[in-house]
Every structure is written in structure tokens, then in C-alpha cells.
Amino acid sequence: MRILVCPHDMQLGGSSINAVDLARAVRDLGHEVWVMGRQGPLRQRVAAAGLPLLALPERARVRPSPAVSRTIAAAVRRHRIDVVHTYEYWPLVEAFLGAFVPRGTPVLGTIMSMGSLPPYFPRTGVPLTVGYGELYEETGELRGLEGARVHLLEPPVDTAIDHPIGSATADGEPEVDVDAFAAEHGLLKPAPTVVVVSRLARHLKQEHLERTMDAVARLAPEVPGLRLVMVGGGSIEGELQARAAALNGDLGRRAIVLTGEMADPRPAYALADVVVGMGSSALRGMAFGKPTVVVGEQGFSKAVAPETIGDFDALGFYGLGAGRVPVEQDPLLGHLIALLRDEAERERIGTWSLDLVRRRFALDGQATRLVEWYEQARAERPVARGRVGEAVRVGGRLVGFKATQRGQALRRRTRGPRRATTG
């Protein structure tokens, strides 16, 4: 097959990294695969994988973008693409309008992000894969009566690359240089180390990142030498740097270290005693044999263990709590201290985590399933009349969605500050 893969963007986020890793694994199964994207650091990963990269227009004034749809359509014609595989919301709609409706080229969409499907999504003809159980059930109910297939595709982990130091690696794969990483960031002295690898973004991530910083600062006086290493870049990096500086000032030492973005964060995972994360980042920590605590939103945190793994089936490696609480009441404190003080427990959970990732989340197995779904999408291509009818319905729902967004934005702009009253 000839497959065009369209990641959400070319930043170093979980969904986009998954897109490139799966594209490479599908290519290695004997298929021709192209990746399409704008500028961004993920291009280095695409080049390292030896995948051909096609350019998208750098600026899109509106989403879905007609220019992007036209670019996808041109690539489908030029390379005689059999299936277009998109990741997240707008790329799916753009491929739907550019490749599926006019040409009947099958489009398969993957949704890894949290939250319900938006109302403008195609409900027939475009199969979906989703990353966690609750969205799988919700999407199946939404689309099942109309005949569109939904598959569960949990985040993949390339265990040939992400693995404990000293274990078998793929031929030619370089070992992780933890010493060089530690020297670069002033981490040479052995110390209890908590690691976070994440996009430093406001949406979904900010609470998770701030709570982890505050928890480590709170525990630092109780755990000699305790430090947090936070790897990543993004829109709130400056805010987090300022928070780290303030916390370090209060502690009188450099307990919280922000390294900035890393194309290859494996040395950080390898250095960790405990990993804190969500989604793909949590799974990568587990692939290194590290005990992992998932921190979500609204005060949620839970250690991943044989006793708790079933709790993550609904929302994936994420969660919602009853509400954020002061740091001294944050359950994250208990999870961290229990693991940091018990080396035998860290070893038990780390060994179990590694085995789970290899059995359930390995990249090769996920790629094999994906190829089966590509073949299924080719075999079930709807006729032209059905494609056009669904395009009309999508257009109507999209107009309604955009009108609602504009109305909400207008109300926010026109709602002035409340006047103070006296009595």
C-alpha cells in the first residue's frame, strides 16, 4: 500500500511522535509511506526514520484550511496514495474534504487527545482509531448506527529504542549517554530524581506541571538531595522557569531543573528514580522500567501498578479528580514519598511496568493492527453519492460550530468589567 500520514503538527508532542513512529513501523512492514507537515522539530525524527516528507502551507488562516485540503489532494494524485492517515481533529476534516469526498481515497483518523469528538466530525465513511476506552465507547455509540468503524489504538511505544539501560537494543541503535546529559545540566551528583517529560503547554499540561514542581519542593526537606528534572519546551516555559527559580530560592538549592526541549529525552528517563507524566510520556517512562505516577487534572494523581492498572482503561494514562487542593493535601505527595523511600517497591513496579509495555503497547503490534485497518478502509470505500451527502452534513455542522465559537468570542469581548457597587 501507499500511505500518506498527516500528523497534528510537527512539534514534539505525544500524538505527533506516535504518528511518525507508526509511519516508520508500517514502512518497515513493507509499505510505502509519506509524512506531510509544516516546519517543526519533529522533522528531525522524520528524517532520522528515512521517511519522505511533504510540505504543507506554513500558515492556515482558518481551520479546516482549503489550502491544506488542496495540498493533500495534490499529494494523493501525485503519489497514487491508497490511504490517508490523519491525527487529531482538523487534519482529518482537511483530508476528508481534499481526498475522500472528491476522489474516494480512504481516510482513517486517529484521535489521541482527551475530550469528546466535536460535532463537525464525519459520521460515515471515515473509520477512526481512538486512544482510550471511554472515547472508544462514546464514539462507537455516536457513529455505530451510521456504519463508521471505530478501533481502539492505545499509544504505541518503540521498545527497541525506549528500554532500560543495558538491555538489548536494535542493531545500530546507539546507547543512551546518561553521563553526558547529567554533566550538561549539572546533575552529576547521585540523588533521588523525579523526571517529567512533557510539552510545556497551558492546555491539559499546566496543572500537571505546576503540581509536580510544588510537590517536589514540599518533599525536598524530607528527602535529602531530592530533585525534579523537567524536560520540554512550549508556551508556558517562561512561567515555569520563574516558578522553579522561586521554589529553588526558598529551598536554598537547585532542586528543580528545567532542561528545555530535547529531541531525544531518553537520558532523562534513564536517570529517573520515579517518572511523573500522562499519556505517551508515562508509557515511555514505564518502558525504561521506571515506577510512574500519572498526574492529570482537577487534583488527580495515581501510581501505575498491578493494583491500579484497570483504573486507567477508561481515560488512558490520564485522570480527572474532584478538584485541585493545596499542595500539603495533594495525593501526589504520598505517591512520591512511598516510591522514593522504598527501593524494593520501585524495583517491583518498574519490572512489572516494563513487562506490561512490551506485552500491550509495543509499536510492532500496533502497526500490524493498523495495516489491517488500512486494508479494511480500502475494501469499504463508500460510493460517490454517500461521500457527497456526508460532506454536505459535515459542512452544515461545521458552519454551526464556527458560528457558536464566534458568538462566544464576541460575548467575551463585549463583556466589560463588572462595576463596583456600594451600599
Beta bridge partners of 108: 85
Is there a single domain that holds both residue 107 and residue 190? no
Inter-residue contact 70 to 88 (CB < 8 Å): no
Q: Is position 201 within any domain?
A: yes
Distance set, CA 373 to CA 59, 151, 368, 380 (Å): 32, 8, 9, 10
**CATH number of the domain bearing residue 25:** 3.40.50.2000
User: Which of the two residues, 411 and 280, has the higher pLDDT score?
Assistant: 280
| Average pLDDT across the chain, whole number | 90
User: Which of the two residues, 5 and 116, has the higher pLDDT score?
Assistant: 5
pLDDT of residue 52 exceeding 70, the answer is yes
pLDDT in tens, 355-398: 999 999 999 999 999 999 999 999 987 777 778 888 888 888 88
pLDDT band at 144, cuts 50/70/90?
low
Is there a single domain that holds both residue 337 and residue 392? no
Residue 55, domain extent? 2-156+363-411
pLDDT band at 420, cuts 50/70/90?
very low
Q: Is position 167 within any domain?
A: no
Is there a single domain that holds both residue 60 and residue 74? yes
Is there a single domain that holds both residue 336 and residue 387? no
Q: Residues, the chain, total?
A: 423
Is there a single domain that holds both residue 224 and residue 295? yes
Q: Once rounded to an integer, what is the mean pLDDT over residues 50-65? A: 90
Is there a single domain that holds both residue 369 and residue 324? no
Whether residue 64 is preceded by a cis peptide bond, meaning omega within 30 degrees of 0, is yes
Q: Is position 255 within any domain?
A: yes
pLDDT in tens, 229-277: 999 999 999 999 999 999 999 999 999 999 999 989 999 999 999 999 9
Q: Once rounded to an integer, what is the mean pLDDT over residues 310-331? A: 92
Q: Is position 58 within any domain?
A: yes
pLDDT in tens, 60-116: 778 899 999 999 999 999 999 999 999 998 999 999 999 999 999 999 999 987 666
Strands 301-303 and 292-295 come out as antiparallel
Is there a single domain that holds both residue 374 and residue 322? no
Inter-residue contact 295 to 277 (CB < 8 Å): yes
Provide the pLDDT for residue 413. 77
Q: What is the DSSP letter of 158?
A: -
Provide the pLDDT for residue 331. 96
pLDDT of residue 131 exceeding 70, the answer is yes
Is there a single domain that holds both residue 210 and residue 262? yes
Is there a single domain that holds both residue 88 and residue 192? no
> Cα separation of 202 and 14, whole Å?
15
pLDDT band at 139, cuts 50/70/90?
confident
Is there a single domain that holds both residue 292 and residue 250? yes
Q: Is position 327 within any domain?
A: yes
Beta bridge partners of 414: none
Q: Which of 98-102, 188-192, 398-402 is least confident?
A: 398-402
Is there a single domain that holds both residue 239 and residue 132? no
Is there a single domain that holds both residue 150 and residue 235? no
Provide the pLDDT for residue 145. 41
Q: Is position 420 within any domain?
A: no
Q: Is position 177 within any domain?
A: no
Q: Please tell me the total count of domains within the chain.
A: 2
pLDDT band at 423, cuts 50/70/90?
very low
Q: Is position 169 within any domain?
A: no
Provide the pLDDT for residue 421. 39
User: Which of the two residues, 166 and 335, has the higher pLDDT score?
Assistant: 335
pLDDT of residue 346 exceeding 60, the answer is yes
Of the candidates 263, 288, 291, the one whose C-alpha atom is nearest the C-alpha of residue 275 is 291
In one letter, which amino acid is 104?
G
pTM of the predicted structure, to 2 decimals: 0.86
